[in-house]
Structures are given as C-alpha cells and as structure tokens.
Chain A
Amino acid sequence: MSEERILETRELSIHFGGLKAVDKVDMWVLRGHVHGIIGPNGAGKTTLFNALTGFLQPTGGRIFFKGVDITGFPSHRAAELGLCRSFQNIKLFKTMTAIENVRVGFHYRLRTTLLDAIFRTRRFREDERLTLERGRELLETMRLGQYADFKAAKLPYGTQRRLEIARALASDPELLLLDEPAAGMNPAETAELSACIRRISAGGRTIVVIEHDMRLIMEICDRITVLNQGLKICEGDAETVRHDPGVIQAYLGRSAG
C-alpha cells in the first residue's frame, strides 16, 4: 500500500464564535485506506467533514487533497475534485427513484447541454445510457438492484443509507467520505454495509468514515483518528486506539450517563 497522503489537514480550525468545534487538527489519510474518525458526540467530526467537503469555510489552517491546497473551495466543486460524501441525516432526493438518485450523482461527469437535451442529440443519448447502465451497476454493487424503481423516501432506513453511498459513488470519487453510515442500522444491515465498504475499498477507493459503531470501525479501518472536543487526541491503527488511555478517558468521561 502506498504512503501517499491523499488528504491532509494542517492546523485546521473551525470556530463558531467562541466555540472551537475543530481546533488545530493535523491529520492525514493514506491512499487506499479505510480511515475512521471517531469521538464522542460533539467532538467535531461532522464539522470536520463539512470543512473537508467545502460546506464550511475553515477559520484557520489548510486542507490538501492530492498535494493541492483546496482550502475554501465551494462545495459543488468537491465532486469534480474527486471528493464525495454521504450525510449523517440522510439527504436523498426523496421523490426520485433509487436509480434517479444515482443518476444525479453522475452530474458533473456528463456533458449534455440544454440544446442536447432539447434535440436529443447523440451526446444526450450517450450520457443517458451511461447513467442508466453504470447507475444500475452501482445499485448492484450496493445490493440495491431490486429497489431501482422505488421512490427513495419509501425505502427502508438501512437501504436509504446504502443508496446514499451508491449516489456518492456515481461521481467516481477518489475519496469517499461517509458520515455515520451505520447509524440506525440493525446488526444484519451493518454487516451488509461492512461488506459493501470493503468491496468499495477493494476497488481502489480511499474511504473516510465517521462512525459510532466501534465494532464496525475496528473491523474495517486501517487507521483511525480520534477527536474529542475539537482536538485530535489520538491517531493510529485499531490496536493503538483501543489501548490509548486518552481515548478511554474521553469516552468514559462523556458516556457515563
């Protein structure tokens, strides 16, 4: 496995007024890894994600993607750069079918213009065929084949989460960011998700995943970053993190209730 740092943050800070949601975090993700981000509630994980995908402007520090400084880029450019994310609170296009959701994910890769669409040119037809064929493949990858023509809102919860991942994959990202993909899933669904993530990883994509399900994290992650109250408190493989006194302290201190 290469040692290239596909994503790196240097002293990344995001402050909301006096609240230091993320404070001077240095972290990096190696290409090809499944990288976990964990931490108690309010640790700043989702805020970090939002900054990494352009939804929030960092108040300080830099973000590098494939060695290029991308700090402060607009969120709609993320997909183009090769970053795509899922959301913690499922954000599917509810009235669209599963396949249509995935087709939207292809957006920036297509070249259809208004005139192409009106006159149904060859470019339009090729784009449509591509999105349909590749979209169905992606649904199959995520074991969603039989749901292709169902409205997204009507799908079971765990299935919606997998559909979000399929949609994100449609933009062919080098780096896939998953925000609590297993939240609300039962053990069987989580196992299926775990298998899906491994398959995606085996396909050569780098994955960063925020998760509260420790079993899943320990099972799939090559490296893990632990955040607590906006600070990075630990980074390393599952074994290191598991035995780090600071991490244990952070979790015990918070989840005593």
Chain B
Amino acid sequence: MISRLVRQERTVFLALLATALLAFPLAFRENNYILRIAINIFLYAILCTSLNMINGYSGQFNIGQAGFYCIGAYTAAILSTRHGIGIWISLPVCGLMASVASLLLGIPTARLKGIFLAMSTLGFSEIIRLIVLNGGEFTRGPMGIPGIPPASLFGWELGTNFHMYYLALLLTALTVLICANVLDSRIGRAWIAIREDELAARAMGIPTVRYKIYNLAFSTFWAGVAGCYYAFLSNFVSADSFHLDEGFVILGMVLVGGLGSIAGPLIGAAILVIIPEIFRFLAEYRLILYGVAILITMHLRPQGICGGGVMDTGDAGSVRDQDEPPDSEPEPATGGDGT
C-alpha cells in the first residue's frame, strides 16, 4: 500500500522531470550559453553514471575514467573523419572499443584492491593518453583531430546546441535506464554483493573475478559512448582533454553526489558543473573547487548527497569489514563448553 503510493509519487516526479527536461531548451533556444551548460551536465552525468557503476556498485576503485572517455572520443574522431562513419554507428562502436580496452586493464588487475587497483587504473589512463599523444599519423599526436563533421539524423544535420541537447538527454536517459535495469537483476545484485563482501559473494556461487571484469567492461562502455558524443559535440578531439584531472573531476562529481545510488552521480554532475558557472570568478579555480568539494564531502557527509551508504564511515571505521585469517577461532561468546 505504502510502497504503491511511493511508486506513484516517483512516477509523477519522473514524469514531471522528463517534461521539464524536454521543454527546457524551448525556452532557451537561442541561448547557447545555457544550452552548453545543460549539455555539459548530461555529458558528465553519463561519465559519472559509468564510473559509479564501478566504484559505487562493484566496489572497485577506478580513477582512470578519463582514459576510457579518451578512447571513445578518438574512435569517433577517426571513424568519422577518415571513414565517414556517422554518430549512430559510432556510438555503440566507441562504447565497445572502451569495453575492449577495459578488458586489457580488467583481466590482469581483477585481483588487485585499494590503492593498487587505483594506481593501475590511473597508470592505464595515462598510458592511453600518452599513446594518443605519441601515436604519430594515426592520432596526429599533440595536434589532435579536427574537422569532425556534425552529427546528423536521416540527412538532417544536428549541428546546433539545441539539437545536441536532445541527443545528450536521450543518451543520458538511455544510460541511466539501462544501468538501473542491470542493477535490478541478478547481475547487479552480484556486483553489489562483491562490493559488500567478496568472500561471501563467492560462497554464494558468484564467480567474483569474472563479474568484476564484466562490471568494468559494462561500465566503461558508457564512458566510450560519452567520448563519442563529445567528439561530435566539439568537432575536435585532443589528448589535452583527457588528462588525469578529467578523471578526478568525474570522480569528484560521483563522490559529492553519492556513490552507489542512481541519482547521486546525476546530482553531483549537475552541482559541480553549475557552481563554477554561477561563480564565474571561480573559473580559474575550478579544479580547486572540485578538490575542496571532495574534502568537504568526506568531512561532512562521506556518503555524499544521496549515496547508497557505501562510504558511510560512521564512527572511525565501524563498518570496516573484519576479515579474519583462515583459522582464527575467537572465544565463543556463550562460553561453557560443558565437557
């Protein structure tokens, strides 16, 4: 009864939100500045959702999201400028390219944890950027790839921000919907189980290593999609856009919004895109702002604005899992062995 009420309210809320998002550009059709901000929010929302699937749900710690984003963008740039392939085919292809690359990282590192995994992802991200930078003719090195044609649909050019807004909205909705669907299935539950307790997950019959690789591939697909969109949005890609900082920005948004919830990364993306725009004088300090936002979040509300309780540190590590060595047998609390 109550849950039905809640569900109805949620449906109403989502319907209102959808209407608002659909109607929004009509009011700002000529205002490219506002549209660009909205587009940026969507772009980061996709990247954040993608990262959240990894860090928030399967509990791996990836900080090299920029690398997969980069792969998507360069794939799209090369396919479109040299082979005349349009955005609609590029989108899934770029996603798949990112997924395949993630296997190169994921298969060998599936057993690493904590800072070891984090550093591997970071190193991987930098390697991708450096390969692009040193890729000679293929990637045009530091010059980047210009001249990516605008997206089009049945011969219709989607060159304006107005059109690109709707494309971004569509992709974001698709990403969120698909991720939410997968999370609400045995696959998503297996990922969360791994995050919560890998040993127990294995005892329940989940091949945890395979599922972690699976999770990375699935999630990075969306980073690749975002990269593709970005290439068609800006018509130019360059390795400079995919510094580690970009990965930290995405991570910061997810942390501020809240790991392990669907809404968290979306809210985080919106807030951290909008704040520097409101305080224009902060533009130069944008990254400082993100760093400070991360620190403030950790100090005041470690689970983020609407987190799924993942980073809930409570009192000094009270939720920290206490893995015991294989054969530690503490005194039974009941006592009285009664021989």
- Interface residues in chain A, defined as those with a beta carbon under 8 Å from any beta carbon in chain B: 16, 21, 40-47, 50, 53, 55-56, 74-80, 84-85, 87-89, 91-96, 100, 103-108, 110, 112, 114, 116-118, 120, 124, 127-128, 131, 151, 153, 167-168, 170-171, 180, 182-185, 190, 212-215, 247-248, 251-252, 255
Query: Could you tell me the distance between the alpha carbons of A199 and B80 in the complex, rounded to whole angstroms?
Result: 65
Pairwise interchain contact B309-A104, C-beta atoms closer than 8 A: no
Interface centre among A93, A190, A215 (most CB of B within 10 A): A93
B204 touches A79 (CB 8 A): yes
Supply 6 further A-B pairs (C-beta < 8 A) apart from A171-B204, A214-B336: A21-B327, A55-B202, A94-B319, A105-B205, A124-B185, A214-B338
Is the CB of B201 closer than 8 A to any CB of chain A? yes
* Cβ-based interface call for B203 (8 A): yes
Interface string of B192-222 (1 = CB under 8 A from A): 1100110111111111100000000010000
* B185 and A47 contact, CB distance less than 8 A: no
Q: Are the C-beta atoms of A75 and B327 separated by less than 8 Å?
A: no
Q: Residues of A contacting B205 with CB < 8 Å?
A: 76-80, 84, 105, 107-108, 171
Instruction: Give bound CA distance, A251 to B339, whole Å.
Output: 7
Residues of A within 8 A of B331 (CB): 41
Cβ–Cβ < 8 Å partners of A215 in chain B: 338
The range of chain B's interface size is: 35 or more
Q: Given contacts A100-B189, A183-B333, A214-B338, are A95 and B310 in contact (CB under 8 A)?
A: yes
* Known A-B contacts A112-B186, A185-B334; A96 and B193 likewise in contact (beta carbons under 8 Å): yes
Residues of B with C-beta under 8 A to A212: 332, 334, 337
Q: Do B193 and A213 touch across chains, with their CB atoms under 8 A apart?
A: no
The answer to whether the Cβ of B308 comes within 8 Å of any Cβ in the partner chain is yes
Indicate if B130 sits at the interface (CB-CB under 8 A).
no
Distance between A53 CB and nearest chain B CB, rounded to angstroms = 6
Q: Contact partner of A44 among B199, B319, B327, B333, CB < 8 A?
A: B327
| B178: chain A residues within 8 A (beta carbon) | 118
- A84 to chain B minimum Cβ distance, whole angstroms, is 7
Contact present for B199 and A91 (CB under 8 Å): yes
Cross-interface CB contact of B200 among A87, A170, A248, cutoff 8 Å: A87
Residue positions of B touching A, CB distance < 8 A: 178, 181-182, 184-190, 192-193, 196-197, 199-208, 218, 260, 308-310, 319, 322, 324, 326-334, 336-339
CA of A167 to CA of B200 in the docked complex: distance in angstroms? Answer: 10
* Cβ A96 vs Cβ B192 within 8 A: yes
Q: How far is the CB of B299 from chain A (nearest CB, A)?
A: 22
Say which residue of A84, A89, A171, A214 sits within 8 Å of B339 (CB atoms): A214
Closest 4 CB pairs of A and B: A79-B205, A108-B205, A117-B185, A212-B332
Taking a contact as CB atoms under 8 Å apart, the answer to whether A106 and B186 are in contact is yes
Assembled-state Cα–Cα distance A100/B308 (Å): 15
Q: State A117–B189 Cα separation when bound (angstroms).
A: 12
Give bound CA distance, A248 to B337, whole Å. Answer: 11
Cβ-closest chain A residue relative to B209: A76
| A214 CA to B338 CA, complexed, in Å | 6
How far is A105 from B197 in the complex, measured between Cα atoms in Å?
13
Asked if A247 contacts B181 (CB within 8 A), the reply is no
Q: Which residues of A contact B184 (CB under 8 A)?
A: 117
Assess whether A255 is in contact with B203, with CB atoms less than 8 Å apart.
no
Q: Is the CB of A47 within 8 A of B327?
A: yes
Identity of the chain B residue whose Cβ is nearest the Cβ of A106 in the assembled complex: B186
Contacts of B207 in A (CB 8 A): 74, 76
Q: Report yes or no: A95 in contact with B204, Cβ–Cβ below 8 A.
A: no
Partner of B332, one of A87, A127, A168, A183: A183
Q: Please, which residue of chain B has its CB at the minimum distance from the CB of A149?
A: B3
B196 cross-chain contacts in A, Cβ below 8 A: 92-96
CB pair B189–A252 under 8 Å, yes or no, is no
A41-B332 Cα distance, complex, nearest whole Å: 9
Residue of A nearest to B188 (CB): A117
> What are 12 A-B pairs with beta-carbon distances under 8 A?
A85-B203, A93-B193, A95-B260, A96-B189, A106-B186, A108-B206, A117-B182, A117-B185, A117-B186, A127-B186, A248-B339, A255-B339
A251 to B205, CA, bound (A): 36
CB distance from A16 to the nearest CB of B (A): 8
Which of A89, A103, A120 contacts B322 (CB under 8 A)? A89
Tell me the bound Cα distance from A210 to B305 in angstroms: 43
Contacts of B260 in A (CB 8 A): 95
B204 engages A42 (CB within 8 Å): no
* CA–CA, A4 and B207, complex, Å: 30
B323 nearest CB neighbor, chain A only:
A89
Closest to A185 in B: B334
